[in-house]
Amino acid sequence: MAPALKKAAQTDLIAKREREQARAVNHHKHQAAEARKSLAKWERLVSGLAPDQVAQLLATVERQAERMREAARVVVGWLRGGRAEVDGRYTLTIQERGTGKTVEMVHRNERVAERLNEAGVKIGDLVEVSQAGDAKILERGQQQTQERDPGRGR
């Protein structure tokens, strides 16, 4: 009986590996398709531009990409226990623990906003978020009485 169980376990392991490989292949195919669509979009965008306009556009895109990479690094620090001041529903001024580096970024992650709302976080509060995403209010901010733009905050 033991050899039959061993054979079944090996078969299950092989099937699991094959599923994981198929999933990885599909993921890479999807990424390649997205890259092709993005490239086609950029080709359409720059087709009618002069070379200096293309250079200016690329410089702008590179600056935005660097800001996004920097924000991503800081957000990783924040999610591991940094501090964030809530400036609006999705806008956080984030301070990374250890370095003290601060960056302001707009979150479009519904889950982050929901967690902050569930914790009772208000505009101007200073919060600490655990790696699990639980928010703890460290300091209550001044309540702001300004009207918010109805189109913002989605």
Q: How confident is the model at residue 149 (pLDDT cuts 50, 70, 90)?
A: very low
> What b-and-e string marks burial along 98-135, b requiring 16 or more CB atoms within 10 Å of the CB?
eeeeebebebeeeebbebbeeeebebebbbbbeeeeeb
pLDDT of 5 above 80: yes
Q: Are 97 and 80 in contact (CB under 8 A)?
A: yes
pLDDT of 88 above 50: no
Percent of the chain with pLDDT over 70: 47
- Closest by Cα among 90, 95, 87, 88 to 128: 95
**CA–CA dist 110, 148 (Å, integer):** 18
- Closest by Cα among 72, 153, 77 to 116: 153
**CA–CA dist 101, 130 (Å, integer):** 18
Burial of 74 (0-12, 13-18, 19+ CB in 10 A): buried
pTM of the model: 0.33
State the pLDDT at residue 133: 55
Higher pLDDT, 150 or 26: 26
Query: In this structure, what are the phi and psi dihedrals at residue 67, rounded to the nearest 5 degrees?
Result: -60, -40
Give the pLDDT confidence of 15-48 residue by residue, as tens digits.
888 888 888 888 888 888 888 888 888 888 888 8
State the pLDDT at residue 43: 85
Q: Give the fold, CATH level 3, of 74-139.
A: OB fold (Dihydrolipoamide Acetyltransferase, E2P) (2.40.50)
Q: How confident is the model at residue 125 (pLDDT cuts 50, 70, 90)?
A: low
State the pLDDT at residue 8: 85
Give the pLDDT confidence of 70-84 residue by residue, as tens digits.
655 555 555 544 555
